[in-house]
A = this chain, B = another copy of it.
Amino acid sequence: MALGYWRAGRARDPADFELFFRRCPFGGAFALAAGLRDCVRFLRTFRLRDGDVQFLASVLPPDTEPAFFEHLRALDCSEVTLRALPEGSLAFPGVPLLQVSGPLLVVQLLETPLLCLVSYASLIATNAARLRLIAGPEKRLLEFGLRRAQGPDGGLTASTYSYLGGFDASSNMLAGQLRGVPVAGTMAHSFITSFSGTEVPPDPMLAPAADQGPRVDLATCVEAWLERVCAHLGLGVQEPHRGERAAFVAYALAFPRAFNGLLDTYSVQRSGLPNFLAVALALGQLGYRAVGVRLDSGDLLQQAQEIRRLFRTISAQFQVPWLESVPIAVSNDIDEEELARLAQEGSEVNVIGIGTSVVTCPRQPSLGCVYKLVSVGGQPRMKLTEDPEKQTLPGSKAAFRLLGPDGEAPPSPQWSPSRSQVPCINFGTRPTTHTHTYRVSAVGRAAAGRGATTPGWPGAKGLASRGSGVLYCEASPRGATAATLGPAGTAV
């Protein structure tokens, strides 16, 4: 196709493309635009290297002119202008997430990379925002999905944009290292099953938290606490699995200030919980505070309620007030429905780890963005087709969102703004007017600002009223400039 443009003498014709989606994902009423940073990074470094050109030569007709390959070798995005919704903006069907202008051949070549970089990022950010809105502002949401992601880079993208959408942290260390996403995790079942209880730790001694006083043999101290805990719980002291306890002790020796216990390797009530309590109380005696427990199977809500009840009674029994509020984390194929259950009023769950449901977006694993030519040489262009949904609007657009006289988003599409409030899409060389009224159902971290109160689902009225009558807008006729790439590929 690039060769077709080049042979037709049109490689450098000025062209405008727009990237948008036709339907909000997940049957919802909004999306978050994301991936802009990755697009800018891609455009800045876009070049065809010798190896790339050689490969293209191997698949193109053998009589292709050398001058065409010279043209490809010289390509970059120094003449490309990118306009975009800011990262994390609310986005709606038909509204351009990106507007890409530049020489026809190069902006055509950008189609697939830009679609790939924006679609999944926006999908993940939207998915994460939905999950955040369901969870409410208080629950800590962790992204645990790298192992279930569609390829390693899918995992990195998911970790990055689920954080944008409202998650608190990821278990993906590379996302921490490369993207600054906070990292968090607990132990694996295999860490626990690797211990039989016969292992002898090279150094079982632990110094008190305040570093004052003698070092203590933690394992011995744990055994003493186990007796008291088992007596309280009505369990035989032989019941809790010794291998599991050895694993907890090993973990506590390595992370005395960050001890947490995964409870369901053998049995939560008869093993995981008493072992955790024995280790946590032994650490507590030395001035350390356990940071949490995690459940990974069974009825997570019901178990959390029971564990909190036990934390309270043991806290009272042994006079360790901090134990009462040790965070309870849960994981195990949590989707929107299960999350709503875990986040219900009165739930004792504090931390929720979500993997598959956030990274692969099972309800709709692709956003379906398209990238359409809207003008060439200043002349509007459209795809007509016989499928009305696939027809495009010609010309570059500026989209405005209108709010009612009360500063609110219109409550429904039936709302009719007065004529003076209406005009909202300019079609480049073919100015006309359209009314787009959007109902905002929800937004995530990016639009809401970190820590803002999330006003329910649906609703989000505080957010819908940001800005004076325009929620997201392209202030100039061509839209807000996200990045204009200068001659040397530098941002202007």
Contact = CB atoms under 8 A, between A and B. Distances in A.
B147 A116 contact: yes
A55 B116 contact: no
B150 A152 contact: no
A314 interface: no
B59 A183 contact: yes
Contacts of A6: 254
Contacts of A1: 187-188, 191, 251
A274 to B, nearest CB: 15
A36 to B, nearest CB: 15
A322 interface: no
A381 B147 contact: no
Nearest to A252: B4
A345 interface: no
Interface in A362-376: 362, 364-366, 368-369, 371-373, 376
A55 B119 contact: no
Count identical subunits in the complex: 2
A354 interface: no
A148 B387 contact: no
B193 A383 contact: yes
A201 interface: yes
B258 A386 contact: no
A346 to B, nearest CB: 24
Contacts of A17: 190
B383 A265 contact: yes
Contacts of A231: none
Interface string A257-293: 1100000111110000000000000000000000000
Given A3-B255, A151-B153, A152-B153, 15 more contacts: A4-B187, A7-B253, A7-B254, A8-B253, A13-B194, A15-B194, A59-B176, A116-B148, A149-B150, A150-B360, A151-B154, A189-B383, A266-B385, A267-B385, A268-B386
